[in-house]
Amino acid sequence: MAAQETVEQKYVYDFSEGNKDLKDLLGGKGANLAEMTNLGLPVPPGFTITTEACQAYLATGREPDGLAGQIEAHLESLERAMGKRLGDPQDPLLVSVRSGAKFSMPGMMETVLNVGLNDQSVEGLARQAGGSTGQAAPGGNDRFAWDSYRRLIQMFGKTVCEVPGEEFEQALDKAKSAKGTTNDLDLDADDLRGLVDAYKKIFLKHTGREFPQQPREQLDLAIRAVFESWNAERAVLYRRQERIPADLGTAVNVVTMVFGNLGPDSGTGVAFTRDPASGAQGIYGDYLANAQGEDVVAGIRNTVPLQELEQLDKTSYDELLGIMARLEEHYRDLCDIEFTIERGKLWMLQTRVGKRTAAAAFVIAGQLVDEGLIDLDEALHRVNGAQLAQLMFPRFQLDHEFQPVAKGIGASPGAASGTVVFTSARAVELAAEGKSVILVRRETNPDDLNGMIAAKGILTSRGGKTSHAAVVARGMGKTCVSGADEIDVNVPAKRFTVAGQTVNEGDVVSIDGTTGKVYLGEVPVMPSEVVQYFEGSLDPEHIDNALVRAVHRIMTHADGKRRLAVRTNADTGADAARARRFGAEGIGLCRTEHMFLGDRRELVERLILARAPGEREEALAALLPLQRADFEQIFREMDGLPVTVRLIDPPLHEFLPPLEQLAVNVAVAQERGEDVAKEEALLAAVRRMHEENPMLGLRGVRLGLVIPGLFAMQVRAIAEAAVIFARGGGVAKPEIMVPLVGAVQELETVRAEAEKIIAEVVGDSGVEVLIGTMIEVPRAALTAGQIAEAAEFFSFGTNDLTQMGWGFSRDDVEGAFFWRYLELGIFGISPFESIDRDGVGRLVRIAAEEGRAARPGLKLGVCGEHGGDPDSVHFFHEVGLDYVSCSPFRVPVARLEAGRAVVETGGSDSR
Ligand code: ADP
Ligand code: MG
Ligand code: MG
């Protein structure tokens, strides 16, 4: 028998047995109730049924062996401790049955209060609650008992038996209007007794049975309902959206009831230990006298600010402030709490490390360092790049005159105002007239792509964070609010209705892609203070701005910690200058293709159309000084820092007009009897150069090998610019990068030619020019050991590597089916957004290892868009790259995350 006992799994933990680190097993609520109990705070006694019990129940459809007995044992010891028995007709012990998963899922799962009440014990409760000090509301303590009972039937009915909640609400409203009031406090004991009858009838009608009178049956059914609420539809959807694993299950907390509805000297409230919006220190909370738990959030009556509790009950107020300070010190972070006061006695019902805005995250981390609660490493750990990125968007300047009319999901951050349109075509039309438009749809589909590109923002009434609209908008960096379901969109009628108002095509709305809020009219937009700081126009030492100071401090720490250098992708002097202000330590990718656009197109056309070598050389000779001037400007902006220049990459026909346009030009010119020789030649060239798969066609190094003199001209322009800058006293560090190499032979050929030119140009100027390659074709990654023989550096082009690694044509797939892949969970995030560690990441790892083995000291960087993605930056740190390069606006994010990567790996260099 003893042996049998030792094998039985432990499914139930008394609050005194757990602690805050047991969230996996006890859920967040249970683990923190245990922690508070062990701190000696006033928590009503109780116990937690583990997530493992829930998992077992959900897997088999029945309670696991041993659970019932363990509940019985814990209930008995609870009864002993309280000196009451569950549902005792004379003096009942009542409990709440509360869900609580590892990750908080606000409002997703269920809680039942007052379990243990029935037709007898309600009388016992009334008698027991009598005779004490409370100045009872009308009806005295009878009132309280019947109020508690009607709440039980309501919550139990709704949660456990799926009785539609509105029916209870309606019955309550009816009782109030019969009494001629809107305040539930005006209902006396008799009214509530009547309400209990009405509730019981509703219960019977929907379930076909009487409301269960057995306390233990109530308890068991409530526990089971909480288990099952894990798989309720809304919980499943929420988890999918928030990427919470589906198999965690919820714990169940059984907690002795304490009563905030005993009279005016009782009440219930919620509070934060500091402002979760701004991070400011102070007292933030709401209190509601003579009420039970959920009334505060349900907005049944108007709450008062927590400060007013000081007048109502100074002892409890002071005790509460003391506990809040204690919790902050203990958790070393902002906490939110739920509490109840029963006749002047304070009870703590919940705490957790509270959610906060991005701004508050930085401010609070800074404050906690000042208060000596955490060090700077910890502060760095507690903020993240996604929050910093949010703070770099312009924001709406919201004063009270702007009230949101709807709230959806903040699907892609930013603030956008514009004219409402309902079709893609109209969006394109108005955008062409220079108007800002907001495309409003029920949901978008791949046909809306052009409209989405034209719009400033996208608003949908359906769909979550992985809907088509959300995914595509994020990919484009466009503001998007999705799933604003209060909005009723009528596309054919070109209008939507919301909050009783009609918005027609042509009206202006404003959407906040960070908060998900929707406003009517134009809300003024405010630039980001954090960007102003990065740009150097706000001095953190001399302004009174807690956010800017905190960002400055944490960024400085990140810079001191990080091993990865951060460079930028910049094609112009202006971009380079801005990125340098944002902290870029060089250019990791300077694309040269834009240097062939504008009025230089004509030269490119001559190059393409050249028949004799002389013509081609002429065109190249004309391009050379123009390119040289471009590079000079970039070297100047990046004085002293490395500049990686990529030789021309895209297929040349991208520089020619599209086929259709040329065909029209030729036809028109012929009609008018004009000379069409050049047009015809271009048309012929475009036809000749047409490719079915240009991304896999004549581009990158292939161009350099096929078109004589093209790369040579670029190499010469780079070297000459560097020498001119160096002779003028500057320091140029050019790195020439060859794109799309798949075989070392390609690189060797380019290199041989380039080295000759460089030697000739550089002479004794002291300029050193490195030659390296992109690693962006899977074959290059797999033969990196050979390629390293001819390369002084590798730069991973993770966009192409992802494209070719997965066989996804980026331009086609994101809009076409990624939303579906995300919905199905094939990947959790687009592999173009965050590096696919297992596949594409493995190619990076192989190339880094084999490249370094072949050439120790080989410089390694990344220049795909992943260079600015938080999770990818951590990966590149782990793989041991030397730097990441990203767009100027992402530079601060990469700096922060590169620092976080170090503190998260325990400060060790993981190379
Ligand atoms: P949620 O996770 O949705 O906040 P809770 O389990 O915290 O749900 O409970 C809902 C409300 O009921 C809260 O306001 C809570 O404080 C209150 N409550 C829960 N258990 C008790 C109890 N034993 N005594 C008094 N109030 C309770
Ligand atoms: Mg709660
Ligand atoms: Mg590429």
Whole-number Å distance, alpha carbon 286 to ligand 1 midpoint, is 15
Atom of ligand 1 nearest to the CA of 296: 14
886 part of the active site: no
Ligand lying closest to the C-alpha of residue 647? 3
pTM: 0.86
877 part of the active site: no
- Please state the rounded mean pLDDT for residues 57-76: 96
C-alpha 797/C-alpha 646 separation (Å) is 11
Whole-number Å distance, alpha carbon 740 to ligand 3 midpoint, is 6
Q: What pLDDT does residue 802 have?
A: 96
E-strand ranges in 614-674 read 642-646
Residue with the smallest CA separation from ligand 1 atom 12 is: 293
Handedness of CA 395, 400, 401, 405 (dihedral sign): positive
Ligand lying closest to the C-alpha of residue 864? 3
Whole-number Å distance, alpha carbon 756 to ligand 3 midpoint, is 26
Which candidate in 863, 866, 877, 886 is catalytic? 863
C-alpha 460/C-alpha 602 separation (Å) is 44
Given a cut of 80, whether residue 241 has pLDDT beyond it is no
C-alpha 130/C-alpha 141 separation (Å) is 6
Residue with the smallest CA separation from ligand 1 atom 3 is: 107
Given a cut of 80, whether residue 139 has pLDDT beyond it is no
* Angle formed at CA 789 by CA 784 and CA 793, multiple of 5 degrees: 70
Label residue 304 exposed, middle or buried (CB < 10 Å: 0-12, 13-18, 19+): middle
- Mean pLDDT lowest for which of 56-65, 177-186, 238-247, 726-735? 238-247
Whole-number Å distance, alpha carbon 491 to ligand 1 midpoint, is 43
Given a cut of 80, whether residue 547 has pLDDT beyond it is yes
3-state DSSP assignment of residue 394: coil
- At residue 698, what is the residue type? L
Q: What pLDDT does residue 185 have?
A: 87
C-alpha 647/C-alpha 701 separation (Å) is 8
Residue with the smallest CA separation from ligand 1 atom 17 is: 293
Atom of ligand 1 nearest to the CA of 258: 24
Q: What pLDDT does residue 160 have?
A: 93
Place of tokens 């380019």: 750
What pairs with residue 341 in β-bridges?
Answer: 267, 346
- Please state the rounded mean pLDDT for residues 431-458: 92
Label residue 677 exposed, middle or buried (CB < 10 Å: 0-12, 13-18, 19+): exposed
Which candidate in 54, 74, 335, 468 is catalytic? 468
pLDDT in tens, 825-866: 788 888 999 999 999 999 999 999 999 999 999 999 999 889
Ligand lying closest to the C-alpha of residue 738? 3
Q: What pLDDT does residue 136 have?
A: 42
pLDDT confidence of 618, banded at 50, 70, 90? very high
CA separation, residue 802 to residues 329, 785, 875, 890 (Å): 46, 21, 15, 20
Atom of ligand 1 nearest to the CA of 256: 23
- Please state the rounded mean pLDDT for residues 454-471: 88
- Please state the rounded mean pLDDT for residues 358-384: 96
Atom of ligand 1 nearest to the CA of 95: 23
Whole-number Å distance, alpha carbon 150 to ligand 2 midpoint, is 20
Highest mean pLDDT among 121-130, 605-614, 677-686, 702-711: 702-711
pLDDT confidence of 907, banded at 50, 70, 90? low
Whole-number Å distance, alpha carbon 349 to ligand 2 midpoint, is 8
Atom of ligand 1 nearest to the CA of 338: 16
Handedness of CA 603, 608, 611, 614 (dihedral sign): positive
CA separation, residue 821 to residues 120, 210, 453, 817, 830 (Å): 56, 47, 22, 7, 9
Residue with the smallest CA separation from ligand 1 atom 6 is: 98
Q: What pLDDT does residue 911 have?
A: 37
Are 337 and 348 spatial neighbours (Cβ–Cβ below 8 Å)? yes
Q: Which two tokens stand for residue 377?
A: 């490493």
Q: What pLDDT does residue 239 have?
A: 83
Q: Which two tokens stand for residue 585?
A: 């330590």
Residue with the smallest CA separation from ligand 1 atom 20 is: 96
Whole-number Å distance, alpha carbon 374 to ligand 2 midpoint, is 27
pLDDT confidence of 130, banded at 50, 70, 90? confident
With CA atoms as reference, report the closest residue to 29 among 113, 114, 103. Answer: 103
Q: What pLDDT does residue 36 have?
A: 98
E-strand ranges in 436-477 read 437-441, 457-460
Atom of ligand 1 nearest to the CA of 109: 3
- Please state the rounded mean pLDDT for residues 146-172: 94
3-state DSSP assignment of residue 368: helix
Whole-number Å distance, alpha carbon 797 to ligand 3 midpoint, is 5
C-alpha 318/C-alpha 336 separation (Å) is 17
Residue with the smallest CA separation from ligand 1 atom 8 is: 111
The percentage of the chain sitting over the pLDDT mark of 90, rounded to a whole number, equals 73
Ligand lying closest to the C-alpha of residue 269? 1
Helices (H), 162-214: 165-178, 189-207
Residue 490 half-sphere exposure, CB side, CA atoms within 13 Å?
A: 9
Q: Which two tokens stand for residue 850?
A: 């084999």
Residue with the smallest CA separation from ligand 1 atom 9 is: 111
CA separation, residue 882 to residues 121, 778, 842, 846, 896 (Å): 71, 21, 17, 16, 16
Provide the residues around ligand 2 (an ion) whose CB is within 5 A: 338, 350
Residue with the smallest CA separation from ligand 1 atom 15 is: 293
3-state DSSP assignment of residue 675: coil
Atom of ligand 1 nearest to the CA of 253: 6
Q: What is the secondary structure of 289-354 as a DSSP string?
A: ES--TTHHHHTSS--EEGGGHHHH-HHHHHHHHHHHHHHHHHHTS-EEEEEEEETTEEEEEEEEEP
C-alpha 883/C-alpha 569 separation (Å) is 12
With CA atoms as reference, report the closest residue to 582 among 536, 547, 537, 549. Answer: 536
pLDDT confidence of 184, banded at 50, 70, 90? confident
Place of tokens 């068991």: 220
What's the 3-state SS for 798-834? HHHHHHHHHCCCHHHHHHHCHHHHHHHCCCCCCCCCC
pLDDT confidence of 900, banded at 50, 70, 90? very high
C-alpha 320/C-alpha 268 separation (Å) is 12
pLDDT in tens, 861-887: 999 889 999 999 999 999 999 999 999
Atom of ligand 1 nearest to the CA of 111: 6
Residue of 350, 351, 352, 355 best suited for mutating to test ligand 1, as the one with most atoms within 8 Å of CB: 350
- Mean pLDDT lowest for which of 33-47, 462-476, 775-789, 842-856? 462-476
pLDDT confidence of 132, banded at 50, 70, 90? very low
Residue of 102, 109, 111 best suited for mutating to test ligand 1, as the one with most atoms within 8 Å of CB: 111
Q: Which two tokens stand for residue 272?
A: 């934060």
Residue with the smallest CA separation from ligand 1 atom 14 is: 293
Ligand lying closest to the C-alpha of residue 78? 1
Q: What is the secondary structure of 743-757 as a DSSP string?
A: SHHHHHHHHHHHHHH
Residue of 108, 338, 339, 351 best suited for mutating to test ligand 1, as the one with most atoms within 8 Å of CB: 338
The better pLDDT of the pair 888, 594 is held by: 888
C-alpha 362/C-alpha 550 separation (Å) is 6
Whole-number Å distance, alpha carbon 340 to ligand 1 midpoint, is 9
Whole-number Å distance, alpha carbon 293 to ligand 2 midpoint, is 8
Atom of ligand 1 nearest to the CA of 293: 14
Residues lining ligand 1, CB < 6 A? 44, 96, 98, 111, 113, 255-258, 293-294, 338, 340, 349-350
Q: What pLDDT does residue 299 have?
A: 63
Given a cut of 60, whether residue 135 has pLDDT beyond it is no
Place of tokens 């089971």: 224
Q: What pLDDT does residue 243 have?
A: 74
C-alpha 452/C-alpha 447 separation (Å) is 10
What pairs with residue 770 in β-bridges?
Answer: 735
Given a cut of 90, whether residue 105 has pLDDT beyond it is no
Are 866 and 834 spatial neighbours (Cβ–Cβ below 8 Å)? yes
Ligand lying closest to the C-alpha of residue 115? 1
Whole-number Å distance, alpha carbon 338 to ligand 2 midpoint, is 6
The percentage of the chain sitting over the pLDDT mark of 70, rounded to a whole number, equals 97
Q: Are strands 565-569 and 587-591 parallel, antiparallel or unpaired?
A: parallel
Residue of 48, 93, 98 best suited for mutating to test ligand 1, as the one with most atoms within 8 Å of CB: 98
Longest CA span, the chain? 110
Ligand lying closest to the C-alpha of residue 99? 1
What pairs with residue 305 in β-bridges?
Answer: 286
Whole-number Å distance, alpha carbon 197 to ligand 3 midpoint, is 72
Torsion of CA 592, 596, 597, 600, to 10 degrees: 150
Residue with the smallest CA separation from ligand 1 atom 26 is: 293
Residue with the smallest CA separation from ligand 1 atom 22 is: 257
3-state DSSP assignment of residue 188: coil
Atom of ligand 1 nearest to the CA of 260: 25
CA separation, residue 478 to residues 411, 438, 469, 496, 813 (Å): 10, 11, 10, 22, 18
Whole-number Å distance, alpha carbon 363 to ligand 1 midpoint, is 30
